[in-house]
Homo-oligomer: A and B are copies of this chain.
Amino acid sequence: MSKTFKEPDCNQCKDRIEVFKVLNEEDLKKIDKIRYDVLFHAGEIIFKQGTPFTHTICILEGLAKVYLEAGSKRRFILTLIGPGEMIGSPGMFIDGLHHFSVAAVDDSVACFVQREIIEGIISTNNRFATELLKRANKRDIQNFQRFLSLTRKQAPGRLAETLLFLYHEIYKTNPFKITISRQDLADMSATTKENTIRTLKIFKEEGLISMTGNLVTILNKRLLQSVSVNG
């Protein structure tokens, strides 16, 4: 963790972060007053699972991974988050703890807002509460998809899904240069790094993708999608 600074104002985020669109002048002022930005270097931890949940964050620049850990074993990456999303914590209203860890993948700037401020707005601005409920529902639906992926698909299907997610949701260009490691790809696809590498090789041999170093090109999106869907 390094530099603490403060510059972009909240109106920018009102435009680009879905749940903030319903905030009024007053709400934004409350946030703007106490918010601050922190620069994280690639690899640094932003939130640690199990620690007190004191602030929500928004990634203003860069990319972060949100993941579950348990014991010393394997990690499970819930999602990657770039600019445009607020990261709260399911610990809000429950035990006041973080239930996942968040780490910077690229050098990233995160905006910190005290949890109490957000809770206050929830209790006074009903549209905001409703917006958060909507977001929770979206997350539920995504989680359901994830359950089906984990129980019905085999590893190649899940890896194909991960690659399409990276293309559609994160890097948005083709080809794209991944900044996450092979281990991260594995942790997103619920498999091992060895298996991931082997499967990527097969994808290359079958002409689904090309991949040199960290530059990925999706060559046959239709087929990749078919692998993703049919498992």
Chain A positions within 8 Å of B, measured between CB atoms, are 68, 70-71, 73-74, 76, 78, 90-94, 99-100, 122-124, 126, 129-130, 132-134, 136-141, 143-144, 146-148, 150-152, 190
Contacts and interface: CB of A to CB of B under 8 A. Distances in A.
A92 to B, nearest CB: 6
A189 to B, nearest CB: 10
Nearest to A139: B140
B93 A141 contact: no
B70 A148 contact: yes
B147 A150 contact: yes
A92 B133 CA distance: 9
Contact of A147 (B76, B93, B124, B138): B76
B99 A134 contact: no
Contact of A134 (B71, B74, B94): B94
Number of copies: 2
A144 B74 contact: no
A93 B22 CA distance: 15
Contacts of A126: 122-124, 126, 129
Contacts of A141: 90-91, 94, 99
B144 A99 contact: yes
Contacts of A140: 90, 99, 136, 139, 143
Q: Which 5 A/B pairs are nearest by Cβ-Cβ distance?
A: A136-B136, A90-B140, A93-B134, A90-B137, A129-B129
Nearest to A88: B137
A190 B76 CA distance: 18
A212 to B, nearest CB: 30
A133 B122 contact: yes
A151 B151 CA distance: 10
A191 to B, nearest CB: 9
A77 B5 CA distance: 47
A151 B149 CA distance: 11
